[in-house]
Structure 1
Amino acid sequence: MDSKTKQSKGGLERAKKLSPERRSEIARDAALVKSGGFKALHKGNFKEVIGVDIPCYVLNDSNHTAVMSQRGIAEALGFATGGGTAIKKFLSSQSMLPYIGSELSKKTDQPIVFKLDQTGSGRKAYGYDVTILIDICQAIIRANDNNQLKSNQAFLVKNASIILQASAKLGIRELVYKLAGYNSTKEAVIAAFRQYILEEARKWSKEFPDDLYAEWQRLYDIPVPVRGRNWEHYHLTLKFIYLPLAKSNGKLLALLKEAKKESKGKKYDKLHQFLNEIGLTALRAHIWQVVGIAKTSQSVEEYERRFSLAFGGQLPFEFDE
């Protein structure tokens, strides 16, 4: 028996196990493809929810598949450039392949082709079942848990966590609504998802997140404080956050000197106050780079070596006495 005959026989055996309803759905989908392909019955956009222009669609297949483009998935995860190419390159990297798996890899390699209007005369588009985004987010978290991501990929962990948590909260709420026979409006769903997104984002936007100190505690074997932070946390914050920021190719240091000059001798009593007024964005970006390096380091030696490579050493602040 040749391979084609074996495949055909296997396909028939699988078909026998399907319910009549599922076989009918498959037949309808095959007919749709034969008659010109799937069409977008509805179109939406994530801009109202997360502020990013990412279109989404619901198709006319039997499952009413919700789809978004590869570019949209890339932008939702925070890739600033490269779009679909960037996400595809990332997913095929050696660090991600073990966590993607063959099934998800196959899905990303075989996009759904559909027409952008209901008449079927519009231009073709290429999309993916939106649940792929959830699968990718889970793969990112697994890869990060196993220290496979680079320090400059910390933004992916952050965005994947936000998407997963917000989607889970909205999903369980909507499931209860459906089971209880309550139909929420489009506006209510958007408002709820926006709320969940903001809640999760706030956890990641604290100037000094708990993750930072948890990783330092792990690496430096620091006892967990009963409340607040201890002197070791203070020392590490100066060493790995404030002092490298002061170097920053001289930019923040120059701003500090300029600010002191303009204030006619008035000194900033607190370094954090200065950064809040002038360099909060730089502070946050730096902190999450440090978190990424710490999370993917197995020892103090590895952490400090990688930190030094990333930031090129340290330079003390030059405060006037």
Structure 2
Amino acid sequence: MSEGGGQRGARRIAEFMSRLQLKGIDIRDLIARLNSPIRFIPPHGGNPADGYEATILPDICAVIIDADQKGKLDGRLKRLAERAAKLQHGWAIVGIIALVDEATGYQDVRQRDALARILEKFVAKELRPYLPTFPLEFYRQIYRLNGWDYDESSARPGVVGHWTNNVIYKRLAPGVWKELDRLTPRDATGRLKHKLFQRLTEDVGLAKLDKHFAAILMLMKYSPNWKVFMDRLDHEFPQWGDNLMLPFPDDYTPPPGLAE
């Protein structure tokens, strides 16, 4: 449960959700949830307070991201969407670690055991059928950031595959890219016979991939060129190494008041 920021803040968020709903955005049941705070006693004691289930935070972010992707935000609200994408990405990473802790029962789990459990959640034992998974917008943004003319019918430069590994797979979760690469056979020329995402589990791996794409596309759209994008990417979403002890960014702060 997360402690609320007061009824005034909740009303402002509910009003913002109402405006998005009028613009055709699916806000789920957020207004009802915002208007129904949960009364509780803070863990450190003190007077009763109003709060909300922690899951309301990523749900609010998801609505804001959806509104931006559908072109319903403008002005300073676009900056809000960028922050929402960063928060979603950060929560997904924290969720991975929490999942490992819950599975093992230890906070100080050994790296090897933790990595094995993460791979078990992310990497499927059987190859999944091929379904288009990467949004074309990802490739359009790669071309735009490099100053190239985009032609969907033309073969992509080989370097795009290396960039995809860097930008997407190596930043999903610890060890996932190496395991996907190890399990995917290659032909006589060294090319992969299957797409790496065909080995991602549907409930965890692909779900995390979708959230990662939302954050990456947001970062791409707000970058003027490839160098700036990569600098921002390395700062906001650094590659995972072989261990879990990467420090989490200190600048994951909740968005400011949601007012137009």
TM-score (norm 2): 0.40
**Which of 1 and 2 has higher RCO (CA within 8 Å, sep 6+)?**
2
The structure with the larger Rg is 1
Q: Which has the higher strand share?
A: 1
Q: Which has the higher helix share?
A: 1
TM-score (norm 1): 0.33
